[in-house]
């Protein structure tokens, strides 16, 4: 899941802060879930800023080329002043400014953040620049929270599939990964037959197609080799730990072993 969060955060940072008024052409999603109006509201959001700071920003004279400022703190202050003088002293302004400052301090490096913070920032962006592109970012992020927390397997698959399709298109691997994640979340993989093992290896292959990292490739190759050779699944789990750089799905393999239903030894 961490990889998904990082993707959304990088997507949000990558938006053109001052050019967000432009509407990008895009097709409608194949799947859709209506979100209540409250998911777009920042009026009750809290932010730390004093009346003195607001007054200073409202009266701050910033240079026309403020965006070329090298000092991240000063550049963030200029941007905050740009926003507050354009939109007024509203929560969305301060939320966007705070996240802009954090992105400058991160200096382009991926930064982990909570899904709630991602939603807050996307919500604020949409309120300041209510175009279709920002609406989709907000809805995708909000839906991610829903599919992570829902107890409904079919809603989980529907929303997760939609999220993956926005990133990768309607390809078979998207549906394989979505169904595999449903198994992980609602009961776990039970590798009891050769057919189940082959299905799990296909799931690993699909994950690598969507996230082509060395770790996912190594994981797929290790399990495929074991299954092709008819070796116990426990061999793959041990070999994976020895040969692959550990990733963020380590606990899944322990669950596989516990729920296998056969003796991996």
User: Is residue 79 over pLDDT 50?
Assistant: yes
> Which is more confident, 92 or 261?
92
Q: What is the pLDDT of residue 35?
A: 64
pLDDT band at 179 (very low <50, low <70, confident <90, very high): very high
- CA angle 138-143-147, nearest 5°? 160
Give me the pLDDT at residue 239, please: 84
Residues whose CB is less than 8 angstroms from the CB of residue 265 and which lie 6 or more positions away in sequence, other chains included: 232, 234
Q: What is the pLDDT of residue 87?
A: 95
* pLDDT tens-place string over residues 88-121: 999 999 999 999 998 898 887 766 778 888 889 9
pLDDT of residue 60: 93
Q: Got the DSSP string for 224-262? A: HHHHHTT--HHHHHHHHHHHS---TTHHHHHHHHHT-SS
134-174 pLDDT, tens digit per residue, is 988 888 888 888 888 889 999 899 888 988 898 899 999 99
Distances (CA, A) of 191 to 25, 92, 262: 44, 49, 8
Mean pLDDT score across all residues of the chain: 78
Q: What digits encode the pLDDT tens for the residues 45-68? A: 777 788 999 999 999 999 999 989
Predicted local confidence at residue 175, as pLDDT = 96
Kindly report the number of other CB atoms within 10 A of residue 182's CB atom: 17
């Amino acid at each position: 899941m961490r990889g998904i969060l990082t993707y959304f955060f990088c997507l949000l940072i990558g938006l053109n802060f001052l050019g967000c008024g432009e509407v990008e052409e895009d097709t409608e999603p194949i799947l859709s879930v209506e979100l209540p109006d409250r998911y777009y509201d920042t009026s009750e959001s809290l932010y730390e800023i004093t009346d003195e700071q607001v007054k200073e920003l409202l009266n701050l004279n910033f240079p026309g080329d403020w965006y070329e400022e090298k000092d991240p703190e000063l550049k963030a202050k200029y941007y905050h002043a740009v926003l507050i003088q354009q939109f007024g002293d509203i929560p969305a302004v301060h939320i966007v400014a705070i996240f802009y400052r954090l992105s400058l301090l991160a200096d382009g490096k991926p930064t982990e953040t909570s899904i709630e913070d991602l939603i807050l920032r996307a919500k604020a962006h949409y309120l300041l620049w209510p175009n279709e592109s920002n609406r989709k970012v907000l809805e995708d992020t909000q839906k991610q929270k829903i599919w992570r927390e829902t107890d409904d397997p079919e809603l989980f698959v529907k929303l997760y599939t939609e999220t993956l399709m926005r990133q990768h298109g309607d390809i078979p691997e998207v549906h394989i990964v979505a169904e595999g994640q449903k198994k992980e979340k609602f009961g776990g993989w039970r590798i009891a037959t050769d057919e189940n093992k082959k299905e799990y290896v296909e799931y690993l292959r699909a994950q690598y197609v969507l996230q082509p990292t060395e770790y996912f490739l190594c994981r797929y190759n290790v399990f495929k080799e074991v299954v092709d050779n008819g070796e116990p699944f426990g061999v793959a789990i041990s070999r994976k730990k020895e040969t692959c750089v550990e990733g963020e799905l380590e606990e899944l393999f322990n669950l596989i072993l516990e729920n296998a239903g056969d003796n991996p030894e």
